[in-house]
């Protein structure tokens, strides 16, 4: 068999994007996924909302759950101030291999640490392995039934502090009902919904921004 979809996406980036130019990497992926082959990147409708929240938080430490091909990794890392770090977690080695190359094409490898493994296994090890005491920003975009257990794990591991911002993709489509119910009803979070569209489609989707109150 030939190349996988992520590998075909990588080829489109290598062909159409300028090395060291994150914006051209983002544009190349969005063009490919809108006109050639759909893929589950946060995309160019929700992407600007992600950008605005990252810019507002200006995180020193950021965590992404579910790298996939690295599209949102590039969106986040391109906005980080010097010295800030993004840790992104991906358990599929084939996806991780593509993501590393896309992140490198954007010239952002020094701002990003891609860790291969499951979020549930990694989160309890983050403090000792990376010397990180808490995350200013967390982007959730992995399996939708992992959102709730993983933020509870972040809470239990003391990796959230007053003011930490969680941003969750796909809270409408495919949907994350248990997560939404928790962050919208817990006294420990102030939650806000940003309506948008499922990537490269006219279907509704949106991002949920939840500030941890401590
Ligand atoms: O299913 C979706 N996303 C799941 C994303 C999954 C990605 O995160 C990794 N992962 C999963 N649990 C993990 C735990 N630990 C580490 N990586 C993990 C998977 O290996 C994959 O790379 C999705 C679906 C649609 N859709 O329209 O159908 C649209 C979207 O925007 C989506 O994000
Ligand atoms: Mg998503």
Yes or no: say if 212 and 163 are a contact pair by the CB < 8 Å rule.
Answer: yes
Element (H, E) at 11: helix 5-16
Residue 1: its pLDDT value, please? Answer: 67
Complete DSSP assignment for 37-92: ------HHHHHHHHHHHHHHH--SEEEEE--TTSHHHHHHHTTPPTT-EEEEEE--
Q: 1-53: per-residue pLDDT in tens?
A: 699 999 999 999 999 999 999 999 999 999 999 999 999 999 999 999 999 99
> Of the ligands numbered here, which is closest to the C-alpha atom of 167?
2
Give the count of beta carbons closer than 10 Å to the beta carbon of residue 34.
Answer: 15
Atom of ligand 1 nearest to the CA of 69: 22
Q: Please state the rounded mean pLDDT for residues 102-115.
A: 98
Q: 39-97: per-residue pLDDT in tens?
A: 999 999 999 999 999 999 999 999 999 999 999 999 999 999 999 999 999 999 999 99
Q: 131-173: per-residue pLDDT in tens?
A: 999 999 999 999 999 999 999 999 999 999 999 999 999 999 9
Indicate which residue's Cα is closest to atom 25 of ligand 1.
40
Q: State pTM to two decimals.
A: 0.98
ipTM over the 0.90 cut-off: yes
For residue 147, report the distance from its CA to the centre of ligand 1, in Å: 11
Q: Which two tokens stand for residue 103?
A: 């992140």
């Amino acid at each position: 068999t030939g190349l996988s979809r992520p590998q075909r996406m990588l080829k489109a980036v290598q062909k159409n994007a300028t090395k060291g130019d994150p914006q051209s990497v983002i544009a190349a992926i969005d063009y490919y996924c809108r006109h050639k082959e759909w893929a589950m990147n946060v995309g160019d409708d929700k992407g600007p909302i992600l950008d605005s929240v990252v810019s507002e938080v200006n995180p020193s430490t950021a965590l992404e759950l579910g790298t996939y091909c690295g599209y949102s990794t590039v969106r986040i890392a391109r906005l980080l101030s010097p010295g800030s770090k993004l840790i992104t977690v991906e358990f599929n080695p084939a996806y991780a291999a593509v993501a590393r190359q896309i992140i490198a094409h954007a010239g952002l490898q020094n701002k990003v640490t891609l860790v291969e493994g499951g979020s549930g296994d990694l989160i309890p090890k983050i403090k000792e392995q990376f010397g990180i005491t808490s995350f200013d920003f967390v982007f959730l975009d992995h399996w939708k039934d992992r959102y709730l257990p993983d933020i509870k794990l972040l809470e239990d591991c003391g990796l959230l502090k007053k003011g930490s911002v969680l941003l969750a993709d796909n809270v409408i489509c495919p949907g994350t009902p248990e997560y939404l119910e928790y962050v919208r009803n817990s006294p420990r979070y102030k939650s806000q919904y940003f309506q948008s569209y499922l990537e490269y489609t006219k279907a509704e989707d949106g991002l949920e921004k939840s500030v941890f109150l401590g």
